[in-house]
Structure 1
């Protein structure tokens, strides 16, 4: 039986091209050094799932994948929510007894090495500043980050259209607040909005303004602005190794809306920026989304449909998406069905709900004659996982109980001095360090409101009963709301892509 199992594993996990080695298969408690479990590099744009209970080794598996991709010249992007991924920049400890024992069992020599790492930040953490303008975010994602209802979301769509037509750049939250103030409190602004787009209830505008203020208190002011982060800066290599981009998110664990909306915005930006690539020998970029449930939690049906579409389409750009979460049920079925690589660490069946999650997880894997998957999945040790991948022909491989290898990089975090040294060596920190404060909606509307106020103050009072001058036929046509709307649209056509994001030229 053992020999037959080894032959089956070898035939399933044998590739002609480059591969990423995960570990060795395990059967009846024995680690089989001849049964290597690996992933074909060319299939890494087919997406994947890393799941398992807390403390079962998900983060280290993510670390293994990222560092092996780096060695193959493939850059990656990692979400570091718990703050334990910075160690990928430093070499591992070859003297560690646990590492030595693990490598001996899988029959491999341990070679400590670090990867080139770029530390990024959405907020106050040290690192490369990630920013985006409100316009680039688009109305759908901006509404999601504010947690607006359908009526309020439709108002945001109108405001975005109004600003597009009026050439009012929405760079930061201050710009959005000024536009809302202008169309709700200024007579000319009210008339412009009502005549072309329809009346908007002041109460709804007030609610949106309050939510923007609440978002500012979460620290989002630091995120919205310029210069916008360029996707091309995620695609760099250094000395032949792919750069591992680590977004430090430890200070926004209690701000899931900011995190999830940023991720969706980034995926849309990647999709719209990169050209079609098809299936190459290796992916252009691999994105690991830790705590993936934060993206799908409370997402509307329309938003889930767009995420599903994104997962389907972004593969053709040479980009792989890997969702890391505790149970597969955190990820919608429509997305799960698109995933090629599945790495399932242990699940604990303490409650009826846990047992249902186990049943669902087992249903996602090929049937195996060697394992009772529903039993083994609860008995997997730390650093062990069920693995199934796609071979080079796109066919799922046999299910394998895998004893994972150790990461070559440090399994602990960097010290503060090491982090500061890494940041000081960065070429991107200085590029994105300083804010750019150019004229945008806030400045334009402030000047307009000041001029209107000055005009009213200097205008002589009208004599009571004086008849108003009638407009000529030409003036009537030119000032008609339909004509003005047509002229604005024809002269200021802006294209928005997926999620309503502004497409950069």
Structure 2
């Protein structure tokens, strides 16, 4: 609840506040399942919204969507309000923008393959170091040739292109094995089967569409519907990292502000760090450390503080610790570790308090106006002013359709990029090869025809010569016969005229 120009989180024998100017020093909300983390998350989100600060939260179970609807009074609420001595409590809904990578429970969220980059994409694809190196080469070749990688079919075409022409790139980039190319293509196919094609594409998300306030000055609460996305933990966690990276890269330096420009809640934060390579962990630590100067507050929500690496945990100045259970010696050590992160309160034992906290109760320590961690307080978290539970699909769709920026994102765009360019190049190459094949076949046909004509001509000449030779012999025989007949006729004539030989 926003009160006295501060964020009122809870109450023990005194009110416990979070100073707005210290909200960008980041924070941690931790506790076992069912201890009240979701309610704390709603209370914080509502308070930042009332402060005029936009918020981003991931809704994994679907029970944060009801933040758009005013709460209702009941016996349990009255009991809690009386315990906290809150009068004139106002139930109200908050300005909400619903988002969903799959476009089912919110406005579609998209980014391009180029924007995601090879480092985070390698994590989504679960590639090893060698395969990650090959993917880096693919991105480098695409950049050098001006080929846009917008969606997964662009990346698949580019990977195939680099694999087919690996000999041309080997001298410049090193060995590109067919095994690595095949592994990347198989991982891309798996990602497509998991719905990755919905996330990569255009129109690309404009991060400034999150940083908006409503007409009454309250910050928009951007709720990412994650029921389906969370089934792929690597895609979920890498998506959240990408969004944080986008804020870091696009927002200008602001220094110390009176209040944050936007507050970002990482639910199930342990997924961000599980099996993450050191290079990625270093990047996360760098972003968390530097992004506060850009007016961004980052709050990790997880079951146990040890889920967060120490280098990052040390950057989180505001702590809200719900109950932890210690049924084994190992769990007891985790409780002791969590207790040691607080500034001790002499009025109670922090270790014992963590195991004794009830639902909706927490240990709270926030930075004061001078940036000094306050003594830990055991307090009851305030109730949210919005409704508990979920909302039905009809109401959700009405809110989505009524969002001012809905028309900007609801329809995907597929402009010319690497896939189309490489496909056209392949088609041209195919046509050129086809024409060359036809030319060679035609040339071969003409040669065969010429050879056949030459053969026929030679055969004709041989036949003509044979015919000519035969005619000459016949003429000789005929001439000899005629001469003989002539001589015989001559003799007959002579003898008859002289009368000497006539008988």
TM-score of the two chains, using structure 1 as the length reference: 0.84
CA contact (8 A) 1:17 1:40 kept: no
Q: What SS is found at the alignment partner of 2:24?
A: coil
Q: Give 1:284-363 correspondences, 5 Å limit.
A: 284-363=261-340
What corresponds to 2:159 in structure 1? Answer: 180
Does residue 439 of the first structure (1) align with residue 409 of the second (2)? no
What corresponds to 1:168 in structure 2? Answer: 147
CA contact (8 A) 1:17 1:41 kept: no
What corresponds to 1:496 in structure 2? Answer: none
CA contact (8 A) 2:57 2:223 kept: yes
Q: Give 1:409-448 correspondences, 5 Å limit.
A: 409-448=386-425
What corresponds to 1:72 in structure 2? Answer: 51
What corresponds to 2:470 in structure 1? Answer: none
Q: What SS is found at the alignment partner of 1:159?
A: helix
**1:196-236 CA deviation, whole Å, 9 max, x = no partner?**
32330001100110000001111111000001000000001
Cα deviation, residue 371, structure 1: 1.1
* CA distance in 2: counterparts of 1:255 and 1:287, whole angstroms: 21
* CA distance in 2: counterparts of 1:191 and 1:326, whole angstroms: 50
Cα deviation, residue 335, structure 1: 0.7
What corresponds to 1:230 in structure 2? Answer: 206
What corresponds to 2:80 in structure 1? Answer: 102
Does residue 20 of the first structure (1) align with residue 14 of the second (2)? no
CA contact (8 A) 1:39 1:390 kept: yes
Q: What SS is found at the alignment partner of 2:228?
A: helix
Q: What SS is found at the alignment partner of 1:87?
A: helix
Cα deviation, residue 376, structure 1: 1.1
Structure 2 portions without partners, runs of 5+:
444-503
* CA distance in 2: counterparts of 1:77 and 1:292, whole angstroms: 14
Q: Relative to structure 1, is the Cα distance of residues 279 and 16 closer, same or farther in structure 2, using a 3 angstrom cutoff?
A: farther
**1:50-109 CA deviation, whole Å, 9 max, x = no partner?**
000111100000000000111110000000011110111111112x11111111111112
* CA distance in 2: counterparts of 1:127 and 1:16, whole angstroms: 31
What corresponds to 2:67 in structure 1? Answer: 88
What corresponds to 1:252 in structure 2? Answer: 229
Q: Relative to structure 1, is the Cα distance of residues 210 and 135 closer, same or farther in structure 2, using a 3 angstrom cutoff?
A: same
What corresponds to 2:385 in structure 1? Answer: 408
What corresponds to 1:139 in structure 2? Answer: 118
Cα deviation, residue 16, structure 1: 12
Cα deviation, residue 410, structure 1: 0.7
* CA distance in 1: counterparts of 2:44 and 2:349, whole angstroms: 27
CA contact (8 A) 1:125 1:251 kept: no
Q: What SS is found at the alignment partner of 1:93?
A: coil
**1:14-55 CA deviation, whole Å, 9 max, x = no partner?**
x99831001212xxxxxx2xx110110111111000000111
1:214 to 190, 195, 198: 190
What corresponds to 2:499 in structure 1? Answer: none
Q: What SS is found at the alignment partner of 2:15?
A: strand
User: How many residues are paired up?
Assistant: 438
* CA distance in 1: counterparts of 2:352 and 2:62, whole angstroms: 33
* CA distance in 1: counterparts of 2:406 and 2:349, whole angstroms: 51
Q: Give 1:254-269 correspondences, 5 Å limit.
A: 254-269=231-246
* CA distance in 2: counterparts of 1:431 and 1:42, whole angstroms: 33
What corresponds to 1:488 in structure 2? Answer: none
* CA distance in 2: counterparts of 1:406 and 1:69, whole angstroms: 15
CA contact (8 A) 1:17 1:281 kept: no
Q: What SS is found at the alignment partner of 1:288?
A: strand
**1:455-504 CA deviation, whole Å, 9 max, x = no partner?**
222235599xxxxxxxxxxxxxxxxxxxxxxxxxxxxxxxxxxxxxxxxx
* CA distance in 1: counterparts of 2:159 and 2:381, whole angstroms: 54
Does residue 190 of the first structure (1) align with residue 166 of the second (2)? yes
Kindly report structure 1 stretches of 4+ aligned residues shifted beyond 6 Å: none
1:115 to 87, 94, 98: 94
Q: Considering only CA atoms, is the larger Rg found in Structure 1 or Structure 2?
A: 2
Cα deviation, residue 194, structure 1: 2.5
Q: CA RMSD in A?
A: 1.7
Cα deviation, residue 124, structure 1: 4.3
* CA distance in 2: counterparts of 1:257 and 1:273, whole angstroms: 24
TM-score of the two chains, using structure 2 as the length reference: 0.85
CA contact (8 A) 1:89 1:117 kept: yes
* CA distance in 2: counterparts of 1:124 and 1:419, whole angstroms: 12
Cα deviation, residue 432, structure 1: 0.3
Q: Relative to structure 1, is the Cα distance of residues 210 and 450 closer, same or farther in structure 2, using a 3 angstrom cutoff?
A: same
Cα deviation, residue 191, structure 1: 4.1
What corresponds to 2:19 in structure 1? Answer: 40
* CA distance in 1: counterparts of 2:183 and 2:312, whole angstroms: 34
Cα deviation, residue 190, structure 1: 3.2
